Chains A and B, each alone.
Chain A
Amino acid sequence: MTDRPPMSDSALIRARGLTKRFGAFTAVDAVDFEVAKGESFGFLGPNGAGKTSTMRMIGCVSPISGGTLTVLDQDPTTQGPSIRSRIGVVPQQDSLDTELTVRENLVLYGRYFGLSRAECGRRADELLEFAQLTERQNDEVEPLSGGMKRRLTIARALINEPDLLLLDEPTTGLDPQARHLLWDRLYRLKQRGVTLVLTTHYMDEAEQLCDRLVVMDKAKIVAEGSPRQLIDRYSTKEVTELRFPAGVQESLDGQLDGLADRIERLADRVLLYADDGEAVAVAAHERGLQPETVLVRRSTLEDVFLRLTGRSLIE
């Protein structure tokens, strides 16, 4: 990114040239970003893009290798415990104590923040309600479904009433129903004014939850904006997807030229980018092309990612 946004006073996180190296490997390469109070901010990118490393630096559990980072106006290098006392963390891998009950997990976690047992109990009641786990509160964690464990992890991250909630791939591995339930809970938090920072490699998740996001690829930030802005800037309004019988796509040669503003050839289909997708489909038909299926849809962040990196988000 060439244009650096000006530093704002209300930013909860400020990163300039933030870098993370593991030996000779650079996981995060001089990234700049800012997260404002009350905003939902996302890191979108494929696995290995540097999202988790960035989150761990923000969460003050991984020292920065270069650049500057400020979280809640404090320096993670010297004030880690103080920052950690004011943030909530939902890690990528569950870290619940599976031998304890749902409720015990919440109460013990609250104790780590120095809260009294009575206060932990009061907050646990509220959070169980929020996470829709009240009826399971005295059950052990192990037999719970993946979605329930994720909701419990989110509830646990809220026990200290954090100023900032960090979510690393909150719905990875969940079935669609569980994901929607989780999104609903996160959306409620957002409406209450909780600042959310999340990573995801699901473009629908980014579109649902993020006010603003950065696209990460190979340790760098390659684009920044709201989902709408990114789509407007890097893609067309619509996309026409043509799927041809096996072997046909390779022999098309120049037959698609000029049909759309931009053409992407994937392994199994061709994407034609234009503002009027229906017109593209008609024009293709007029040229005598006979695809097996034709799908006209709106552009998504997936298309933005494809444009920026030449690759799909999930490979």
Chain B
Amino acid sequence: MAGLTYVLEHRAVQYRRTFRSSVFTSFLSPLLFLTAMGIGLGGYVDRSGGAALGGLTYLQFLAPGLLAATVMQSAAFEATFPIIGGLNWQRTFHAMYATPLSPRDIALGNLVWTALRLAMISSVFTLVVIAFGAAHSPLVVVGIPIAVLTGMSFAAPISAFSATQRTPNRFNVIFRFGITPLFLFSGTFFPIESLPSFIQPIAWLSPLWHGVDLTRGLVLGTFSQNPGLMLAHIVVLIAITIVGTWATVVTVERRLIRG
């Protein structure tokens, strides 16, 4: 456990160097998206009647989903380049392994750091949502831990994969054919019921859809309409995170031992 905190400390010192630009980006991204999609596009959507959105304004509908989707993107980034860098480029994970730190400390330390980063990003995002007046109720804050959980359900399995790679070539595939389609088709920008019925089951497979639907349910207070589904969302996200974390410990250890 102590070992894990030293890995966190290392990541925190690294982060200090990019802190300012990182926080700025965390503000800018929701600002741009909520302005363009929420207010710009939302103006049209709201004018044509919001029956499909359950009486919400488009901005209110969009904000929780966009939170989960943004955190997913950051999670995917944190789970790819820092992992391959530590194992292949800078080899800092190998340097850590030459000390009393264990591969498990190194793997878990990086995942915990990712969770902390996602919590920061979610918090900033939520502040922006509140500033936009898009918060439907004080429940908006419960969106933060749920978004982090959603992000970790991506970060954990992707980290496990990253630890098996020697070059970043396949990361493009993850981003292009995984992250981007999920961002668009997991109910972030429109209810998945708008999709042709044969595509909808694909959305159910997406951890992001579980995250978006859950965040929306909790933030908008609609979870009581279908508590069973909400519970299922949580179980799915936690299960993926646990399996992914275990897999990361295994693949990082294997890679460190191989040298």
Binding site for B on A (CB under 8 A): 52, 56, 59, 61-63, 81-82, 84-85, 89, 91, 93-100, 104, 108-109, 111-114, 156, 160
Contacts and interface: CB of A to CB of B under 8 A. Distances in A.
A111 B9 contact: yes
A94 B91 contact: yes
Main secondary structure on chain B at its contact with chain A? helix
Main secondary structure on chain A at its contact with chain B? loop
Given A61-B256, A95-B90, A114-B2, A100 B100 contact: no
Nearest to A92: B259
B14 interface: yes
Interface string B67-111: 000000000000000000000001110111111111000000000
Contacts of B176: none
Contacts of B259: 52, 56, 61-62
Interface of B: 2-3, 6, 9-10, 13-14, 17, 90-92, 94-102, 256-257, 259
B102 A81 contact: yes
A95 B99 CA distance: 13
B91 A61 contact: no
A95 B256 contact: no
Contacts of B92: 95-97
B13 A95 contact: no
B14 A97 contact: yes
B99 A93 contact: no
B102 to A, nearest CB: 6
Given A56-B259, A100-B13, A113 B90 contact: no
A39 B158 CA distance: 46
Contacts of A84: 98-100
A61 B102 contact: no
Contact of A112 (B13, B94, B96): B96
A4 to B, nearest CB: 29
A111 B9 CA distance: 9
Contacts of B14: 97, 99-100
B257 A82 contact: no
Given A82-B100, A111-B9, 9 more contacts: A84-B99, A85-B99, A94-B91, A95-B90, A97-B90, A98-B90, A109-B95, A109-B99, A113-B99
Contacts of A59: 98
Contacts of A81: 100-102
Nearest to B98: A89
A97 B10 contact: yes
Contacts of A52: 259
Given A97-B92, A99-B17, A61 B6 contact: no
